[in-house]
Amino acid sequence: MNTNNGFSKILRELREQRNMTQKEVAEALGIERNSYGNYELGNRTPDKTMLIKLANFFDVSADYLLGRFETIQANDNRIPLLGSVPAGSPIEAIEEVEEYIDYYPHFVKHGELFGLRVTGDSMEPDIREGDIAIVEKQDFAESGDVAIVRVNGDDEVTVKKIKKTTAGIMLIPTNQDYDPLFFTNEQIESLPITIIGKVIEIRRRF
């Protein structure tokens, strides 16, 4: 793959902003220091897999690393990280803003976005503890979507895959050690069960 001339400079600036050496970054990525150093010198271009690793490590998009951010740089590309959402049994969500994180949506228009840090292991291997779920705020989800769901009114939330049936809604973990949660149409109204948003991306540090 080809990268533009700004890639090396952007990569170096991101590393320096974190006060890290090339050796430290290389060790975190599981590569040789010389291999990483060649990326910063422009002597070597990363393949798609390594580009994604670099983007995830520095908490930016691949487009940002490639210098494709000029047209959206004037906009506010920071979204709030609101706290934690469990991938396990529903527990109380933390909805205070912990920090703001950079998010460049690959030129796809989205609505209101926010981040949630995942705890628990019920969505492994797809979603792991410590991952940040990028969520588009909406009050609906289709079967097959991974969504943030509020259970029992305002008290509990969870992240699960959605399956809708004529009888109700099923919240499905991907970890087979956990059982699906099923709520009837009556429970959806009485508890209630509400969709907070749809997970559109998972950000993970390597």
Structural domain boundaries of the chain? 6-71, 78-203
Lay out the sheet containing 156-165: strands in order across.
99-102, 78-86, 113-119, 132-137, 193-203, 146-151, 156-165, 168-172, 181-184
Per-residue pLDDT at 76 exceeds 60: no
pLDDT band per the 50, 70, 90 thresholds, residue 35: very high
Catalytic residue among 122, 137, 164, 198: 122
Q: Is the pTM here over 0.85, yes or no?
A: no
User: Is 160 in the active site?
Assistant: yes
Average pLDDT over residues 93-117: 70
- How is domain 6-71 classified at the architecture level of CATH? Orthogonal Bundle (1.10)
What separation in angstroms does the CA of 53 have from each of 28, 46, 149, 178? 10, 10, 29, 29
pLDDT above 70 coverage of the chain, percent: 83
The answer to whether the beta carbons of residues 145 and 155 sit under 8 Å apart is no
pLDDT band per the 50, 70, 90 thresholds, residue 155: low
Per-residue pLDDT at 90 exceeds 50: no
Pick the CATH number of 78-203 from 2.30.30.30, 2.10.109.10, 1.20.1440.130, 3.40.718.10: 2.10.109.10
Average pLDDT over residues 121-146: 93
User: Is 84 in the active site?
Assistant: no
The answer to whether the beta carbons of residues 82 and 116 sit under 8 Å apart is yes
Where are the extended beta strands (E) located within 63-192?
78-86, 99-102, 113-119, 132-137, 146-151, 156-165, 168-172, 181-184
Residue 114: what are its φ and ψ, rounded to 5°? -150, 165
Per-residue pLDDT at 55 exceeds 50: yes
> Which residues are paired to 171 by β-bridges?
162, 181
Amino acid, res. 73: Q
Catalytic residue among 53, 61, 84, 160: 160
pLDDT at residue 95, rounded to an integer: 55
Neighbours of 24 (CB within 10 A): 14
Per-residue pLDDT at 89 exceeds 70: no
Residue 48: what are its φ and ψ, rounded to 5°? -60, -40
pLDDT at residue 129, rounded to an integer: 92
